[in-house]
Chain A
Amino acid sequence: SREGGFGLGRPALPEEVAAWDWDVRPDGVGLPVGEGDVWTGEELFVDYCSACHGDFGEAVGRWPVLAGGAGTLTYEDPTKTIGSYWPYLSTVVDYVHRAMPYGQAESLSPDETYAIVAYLLYLNNVVDDDFVLNQDTFHDVEMPNADGFFMDDRDETEVVAWTREPCMTDCTEGEVEITMRATILDVTPEEDEEEASA
C-alpha cells in the first residue's frame, strides 16, 4: 500500500463501464431492459441454439443438455440441467447474454435473450407457454432446485476426520486385493491414435 495510492490508471467513463458491466445477480441487479415470450424464444432457439442443444434442449452429441432431468440428482447418472439443477434464473439470463451462442458471443439483444430464456424455462416445465420474461416477471419465477446448494462444509466434516496421525505398519487385515483396473475399461488414448489424428 501507499498513502494516496500510486496515481496510476485513469477514471473509467460511464460509457466504458456500461459496455463491459452487464452481469446479472440473483436479486435481479444488472438485468437488461427488454422482454421476450416463449414462442419468440422457440424460433430463436431453433435458429441459434438447436444445432448443439437440440430442438427441445435435449442436446446433440456431448453438448450440454438444457432441459429435463427433474428428480435425477440422486441417481447413479444424474442429469443436471437448468430445470433440474440450476439454482438461479439470473444465471441463465447472464450466461446466455454473455457467452452464447458458442462461437458468436455478445450477439444476442436483451429481447432475444429474454425470449430464449423464457423458452428454456418452458422446456423445463417452470413456466406456461404464455409466459413473457422481463425485469418484473423475473421475480415471479421459482427455480426447482433453488434450495439444493449449501456452503462448503469440508472444514467441519472431512478436514476434522482426516487430520490425525496416520497408520504406518500392518494397516490392513492381510493382503490387499485389486478391485478395479483401468486397462479393462481401455479408454486411454493410444500413442498411435494420437499421431494418426495429429
Chain B
Amino acid sequence: MSDGKSFSPSRRSFLTASAAAGGALASGKLVHAQAAPDPAIIDPQPWRQYLGPGVDNAPYGMPSPYETEAVRRTVPWLTADQVSSINFTPLHELDGIITPNGICFERHHGGAAEIDPAEHRLMINGLVDTPMVFTMEDIMRFPRENHVYFLECAANTGMEWAGAQLNGCQFTHGMIHNVQYTGVPLRLLLEEAGVQTNGRWLLAEGADAAGMTRSIPMEKALDDCLVAFKMNGEALRVEQGYPLRLVVPGWEGNMWIKWLRRLEVGDEPWHHREETSKYTDLLEDGDARRFTWVMDAKSVITNPSPQAPITHGPGPMVLTGVAWSGRGTIPRVDVTLDGGRNWHQARMSGPSLDKSMHRFYYEFDWDGSPLLLQSRAIDSTGYVQPTKEQLREFRGENSIYHNNGIQTWYVNENGEAENVEVG
C-alpha cells in the first residue's frame, strides 16, 4: 500500500474518463478521444495481483490512506489557546447528511474531559419531589429513542459578520455536524425525580473543567430534548461528551451540554456566563438580545467551494450543498449562478428529517465562464434564508452569533473558487 506513485489512480484521470463516458452516452459522440491506451487499464495493478490485508488488520478501521483531506482543521488565531477553542468539520469533503464521528467539529471551554463511565453520575436536584442520582447503568435501562439532528455552534459563520474573511466552507460553515443520536427523553428522567409545579427552568451542567452551564426553559426540556449516550450507533466520542450529553434539537450548540452531570430545576433562569457574557447578540444600538436559542434556516454550497475547486473543466458538473433549520425541515433550496439575479430550484436528495441537515444538488453544464454561486434555504415554516445585508440591517456587524446569511462563492475561468461578498 505504501508505493503510491506506481499505481495511485489520479483523481484527474478518473474524472476525465467518466466525463468521456458520460458525454459519449449523452451526445452519441466521444468528447475526449483517448490517444494511447490508459496505463491504469493495460498495466497490471498490484491490488489485482497481490492479496490485501486480512480481517484482523484493523479492529477499528480508518478511511483510505488516500482520503487525507477529510480532516478537522483549526484556525489558530481565532482563540487565545487550543483548549478553549474550536475546530471545523470538512463539509467540502462530505456528501449525504450524516457526519462521520471522527470529523465532527469540536468546541470545548476546558478541553475534552476524559471520563470513566463507571464513575460518571447524573444528578437531578432543585424543585423536584426527590433529588436523584443516576449511574450510566441506570440510564441505559430507560426507554430510548433515535433521532438525527444538526448541532450548529451559535458562532458558526461568526467571523464573516463584517465581510468575507475565511476562504473555505469548512472555515465559514464547519462548526456543525449532523449525526443520529440514541438517548433517553429528558422528560423521562425528570419524571423520575418529579418536577414541582413552579419548576419552569432547568440548569444543565457539564462535568468538565469549564463547569459549563446553561438555562433551558422547562417547555423545551419536556418537549424533545434527549440525554444521549450514542452517536451514529456507537458510544459518544470523548470530544462530543462521552459518556453522556444533552441534545437540544434546533437550538444553538452551546446548550447541548457535554459530559452532562447535573440538572437543576428552578423557577427562574440562572443568567450564567454562557448566556450573559457569551451567547448574547449585541445589536447596533448597544443593546443585546439574550436567549437567542433557535438556529434559523441556513445553507451553503460545499462543492464547488474554495477548498473544492472545479478541476474537470467545462461541461457537465454537480453542484451540491447542505441546508438546515432549527424550526423544521427544508423542503426547498434555490441556487443562483449569477450572484442572485436568477434562481433555480435545487434537487433535494436523501432523508428530510426535522431539525436535521438536508442534501441538495444542482446539475448543469458549465460553459467555463465565471460564476457567482449562492444557495437559499426555505424551511417548512416558509422562512427564507436572508442575505448578509438583510441580517446587518436588523443587527449591525457586532452580534458575533447566529449569522445565517447567504454565502457567495466566486468561481473564475479556471474553476478556482473564492469567498466573496456581492452588491
Q: Which residues of A contact B (CB under 8 A)?
A: 1, 5-6, 8-12, 16-17, 20-21, 23-27, 52, 61-64, 73-74, 76, 78, 80, 82, 85-88, 90-91, 94-95, 98-99, 102-103, 105-106, 148-154, 157-159, 161-164, 166-172, 175-183, 185, 187-189, 194, 197
Contacts and interface: CB of A to CB of B under 8 A. Distances in A.
B308 interface: no
B167 interface: yes
Contacts of B270: 23-25, 94
B349 interface: no
Given A5-B192, A187-B77, A188-B168, A163 B291 contact: no
A180 B125 contact: no
A12 to B, nearest CB: 4
A148 B217 CA distance: 21
Contacts, number: 245
A9 B184 CA distance: 14
Given A23-B205, A74-B284, A157-B394, A152 B289 contact: yes
B271 A25 contact: yes
B132 A162 contact: no
Interface in B157-191: 163-168, 171, 187-188, 191
Contact of A27 (B139, B268, B334, B383): B268
Interface stretch (B22-30, B89-97, B374-382): B374-382
B235 interface: no
Contacts of A5: 191-192
B262 interface: yes
B141 interface: yes
Contacts of A6: 141-142, 188, 192
Contact of B80 (A27, A62, A103, A163): A62
A73 B285 CA distance: 8
Given A182-B164, A182-B166, A149 B290 contact: yes
Given A8-B138, A26-B271, 14 more contacts: A6-B188, A16-B133, A21-B123, A21-B264, A82-B277, A91-B276, A98-B213, A105-B110, A149-B288, A158-B386, A167-B343, A172-B340, A176-B339, A176-B340
Contacts of A95: 272-273, 277
Interface string B294-329: 101000000000100000000000000000000000
Contacts of B139: 8
A188 B390 contact: no
B286 to A, nearest CB: 4
B282 interface: yes
A106 B187 CA distance: 30
Contacts of A176: 338-341, 372, 422-423
Contact of B422 (A17, A21, A94, A179): A179
Contacts of A21: 123, 125-126, 262, 264
A12 B125 contact: yes
Interface residues of B, number: 96
Contact of A159 (B291, B338, B383, B391): B383
Contacts of A158: 296, 386, 391, 394
Chain A facing B: main interface SS: loop
A9 to B, nearest CB: 4
Contact of A12 (B75, B132, B280): B132
B239 interface: no
Contact of B282 (A52, A73, A164, A197): A73
Nearest to A143: B276
A189 B418 contact: no
27 contacts: A6-B141, A6-B142, A6-B188, A9-B138, A10-B132, A12-B125, A20-B261, A25-B266, A78-B398, A85-B277, A91-B277, A94-B273, A102-B110, A149-B276, A149-B280, A149-B289, A154-B294, A163-B384, A164-B384, A166-B376, A168-B334, A176-B372, A176-B422, A178-B372, A178-B410, A182-B164, A188-B168
B217 to A, nearest CB: 11
A179 to B, nearest CB: 4
A86 B47 CA distance: 63
A11 to B, nearest CB: 5
Nearest to B209: A105
Contacts of B209: 99, 103, 105
Contacts of B167: 182-183, 188
Contacts of A163: 381-384
Contacts of A63: 80
A130 to B, nearest CB: 27
| Ranked 7 nearest A-B pairs via Cβ | A176-B339, A182-B419, A73-B286, A62-B80, A12-B131, A180-B421, A95-B273
A47 to B, nearest CB: 20
B103 interface: no
B198 interface: no
A150 to B, nearest CB: 6
A157 B292 CA distance: 13
A105 B211 contact: yes
Contacts of A161: 390, 394
B80 A170 contact: no
A8 B192 contact: yes
Contacts of A106: 211
B420 interface: yes
Contacts of A20: 123, 125, 205, 261-262
